[in-house]
Amino acid sequence: MTFYTFLVITYVVAGVEIEKKTLYKNAYECGNALPAAYKPYEDMDSMAQCIETDKISEIKTRPKLRPKNLSLAKNVENGQG
Protein backbone atom coordinates (compact mmCIF):
# COMPACT_ATOMS: atom_id res chain seq x y z
CA MET A 1 0.00 0.00 0.00
CA THR A 2 1.04 3.57 -0.56
CA PHE A 3 -0.16 6.58 1.38
CA TYR A 4 -0.76 10.21 0.51
CA THR A 5 2.20 12.31 1.64
CA PHE A 6 2.46 16.04 2.38
CA LEU A 7 5.51 18.07 1.46
CA VAL A 8 5.64 20.61 4.28
CA ILE A 9 7.82 23.70 3.96
CA THR A 10 8.04 25.85 7.06
CA TYR A 11 9.72 29.27 7.02
CA VAL A 12 9.79 32.46 9.06
CA VAL A 13 9.02 35.94 7.70
CA ALA A 14 9.19 38.95 10.03
CA GLY A 15 9.04 36.65 13.05
CA VAL A 16 5.91 34.84 11.81
CA GLU A 17 6.12 31.12 11.07
CA ILE A 18 4.46 30.17 7.78
CA GLU A 19 3.71 26.64 6.65
CA LYS A 20 3.12 25.61 3.04
CA LYS A 21 1.73 22.12 2.33
CA THR A 22 1.56 20.26 -0.98
CA LEU A 23 -0.07 16.84 -1.28
CA TYR A 24 1.59 14.00 -3.21
CA LYS A 25 0.36 10.52 -4.05
CA ASN A 26 3.25 8.83 -2.23
CA ALA A 27 6.46 9.47 -0.30
CA TYR A 28 8.63 8.74 -3.36
CA GLU A 29 7.01 11.54 -5.40
CA CYS A 30 7.28 13.89 -2.43
CA GLY A 31 10.96 13.09 -1.97
CA ASN A 32 11.64 13.74 -5.64
CA ALA A 33 9.87 17.11 -5.50
CA LEU A 34 11.44 18.27 -2.25
CA PRO A 35 14.79 19.68 -3.52
CA ALA A 36 13.20 21.89 -6.19
CA ALA A 37 10.34 22.99 -3.92
CA TYR A 38 12.73 23.90 -1.09
CA LYS A 39 15.25 25.78 -3.28
CA PRO A 40 13.54 29.22 -2.96
CA TYR A 41 13.51 28.89 0.85
CA GLU A 42 16.97 27.43 1.51
CA ASP A 43 18.57 30.77 2.45
CA MET A 44 15.82 31.59 4.94
CA ASP A 45 15.12 30.29 8.43
CA SER A 46 13.29 27.29 7.01
CA MET A 47 12.91 23.53 6.75
CA ALA A 48 11.17 21.04 4.45
CA GLN A 49 9.99 17.51 5.07
CA CYS A 50 7.72 14.83 3.68
CA ILE A 51 5.07 13.65 6.13
CA GLU A 52 3.13 10.50 5.27
CA THR A 53 -0.58 10.48 6.12
CA ASP A 54 -2.67 7.50 7.17
CA LYS A 55 -4.85 7.83 4.04
CA ILE A 56 -4.29 5.12 1.43
CA SER A 57 -3.60 6.42 -2.08
CA GLU A 58 -3.11 3.08 -3.80
CA ILE A 59 -3.51 -0.58 -2.96
CA LYS A 60 -1.38 -2.95 -4.94
CA THR A 61 -2.65 -6.47 -4.63
CA ARG A 62 -1.74 -9.55 -6.56
CA PRO A 63 -4.05 -12.46 -7.13
CA LYS A 64 -2.98 -15.69 -5.46
CA LEU A 65 -1.76 -18.46 -7.71
CA ARG A 66 -4.16 -21.32 -8.24
CA PRO A 67 -2.98 -24.40 -6.34
CA LYS A 68 -1.72 -27.08 -8.74
CA ASN A 69 -4.03 -29.73 -7.27
CA LEU A 70 -7.19 -27.61 -7.72
CA SER A 71 -9.33 -28.82 -10.60
CA LEU A 72 -11.07 -26.45 -12.98
CA ALA A 73 -14.86 -26.09 -13.17
CA LYS A 74 -16.76 -29.01 -14.75
CA ASN A 75 -17.78 -27.06 -17.86
CA VAL A 76 -14.18 -26.18 -18.63
CA GLU A 77 -13.04 -29.80 -18.12
CA ASN A 78 -15.70 -31.04 -20.53
CA GLY A 79 -14.75 -28.47 -23.13
CA GLN A 80 -18.02 -26.57 -22.75
CA GLY A 81 -16.72 -23.32 -21.32
Query: Does 62 reside within a domain?
Result: yes
Query: Does 26 reside within a domain?
Result: yes
pLDDT at 81: 47
What is the C-alpha to C-alpha distance for residues 45 and 29, in angstroms, rounded to an integer? 25
pLDDT digits (tens), the chain, 81 positions: 899 999 999 999 999 999 999 999 999 999 999 999 999 999 999 999 999 999 999 887 777 787 777 766 655 555 554
pLDDT at 62: 76
Q: What is the number of domains present in the chain?
A: 1
Query: Does 30 reside within a domain?
Result: yes
Distances (CA, A) of 18 to 28, 42, 71: 25, 14, 63
Are 61 and 37 contacting, i.e. CB atoms less than 8 angstroms apart? no
Query: Does 18 reside within a domain?
Result: yes
